[in-house]
Structure 1
């Protein structure tokens, strides 16, 4: 009997597994841009624990192993910033990144009233760009941060569920 991947809120005890997975997942990005000093590779365990305490962090689990994660926060204008979408290399290309991104969007809309979503990725990260575009994100800007790296900012509006007519009429 196989174990299926579940998505849930991260727990305090997940910090070390998330950090190790983040380090593993960002190796390919660092190699792509020739920069091993990127923040996901230098983040401390204490910084990650602080993020877990203040933000919205989801993990994908295969049994007890964390095989994916994503983080998000919402500002006072209702703009959700989604960051550090990671999936273990052996679990990639099976829809888990899409599931995590959809789950964080739903959670941020329901619990924190997100009205739009914003994320960024490197200009050479074609797999990331394809995924985000497939899920409705559009490029809004590109910012050159170094001779080797430009960050592509993408956004999409949150989908609002239609209000049933009988509820709309009584409002």
Structure 2
């Protein structure tokens, strides 16, 4: 029948696939804010490779195809900074984003002793805001204006409130 989506650590050789998927996934955000110069659309392959070397990057695979990804790193005070959660448009709204996020939270808690998880999204990104709230994130502080079109909403949750997750799970 169908293939299962697996979540695992990104390989160095995945960088180009992740960057192409990121470009596809952020088109809607760029359109929503009327800004096609947002960082996920201008990030270079070398910048992405540096992120692969510095933090934890997970990918979701359907067979050999990279269909999702998320990145994170823990700073000195135990705050895990999570970014660029992406899922291929044809697989969105099936729980894969939540699985990727839970897998990353589990990894960062187990390997880097994360005490809290922090992420941000645009103030008009209602689908993202709804998903993060459903997963236990709460807004921290006021939205941060970036431009006249965009404000960032910072969200956080405690590592104690996150359920343990395995990052190599399949569904």
* Structures share fold, TM-score greater than 0.5: yes
Structure 1 moving runs of 4+ over 3 Å = none
CA contact (8 A) 2:136 2:161 kept: no
Give the unaligned 5+ runs of structure 1: 162-171
**Which residue is 2:125 aligned to?**
125
Deviation at 1:87, TM superposition (A): 0.2
1: CA distance, partners of 2:51 / 2:156: 22
**Which residue is 1:116 aligned to?**
116
Deviation at 1:160, TM superposition (A): 7.0
1: CA distance, partners of 2:109 / 2:39: 27
TM-score, normalised to structure 1, is 0.92
Aligned length: 161
Higher relative contact order (CA 8 A, sep 6+): 2
Deviation at 1:59, TM superposition (A): 0.2
**Which residue is 2:14 aligned to?**
14
Q: Deviations 1:106-162 (Å, cap 9, x if unpaired)?
A: 00000000000000000000000000000110001210110000000000000279x
1: CA distance, partners of 2:125 / 2:161: 30
1:3 counterpart = 2:3: yes
Give the unaligned 5+ runs of structure 2: 163-171
Deviation at 1:102, TM superposition (A): 0.4
**Which residue is 1:149 aligned to?**
150
**Which residue is 2:66 aligned to?**
66
2: CA distance, partners of 1:140 / 1:55: 23
Task: Report the 3-state secondary structure (helix = DSSP H, G, I; strand = E; otherwise coil) of the residue aligned with 2:6.
Answer: strand
CA contact (8 A) 2:122 2:151 kept: yes
Task: Report the 3-state secondary structure (helix = DSSP H, G, I; strand = E; otherwise coil) of the residue aligned with 1:108.
Answer: helix
**Which residue is 1:52 aligned to?**
52
1: CA distance, partners of 2:68 / 2:79: 23
**Which residue is 2:160 aligned to?**
159
2: CA distance, partners of 1:5 / 1:47: 27
Distance 1:8 1:155, change over 3 A: same
Instruction: Give the alignment's Cα RMSD to 1 decimal.
Output: 1.0
TM-score, normalised to structure 2, is 0.92
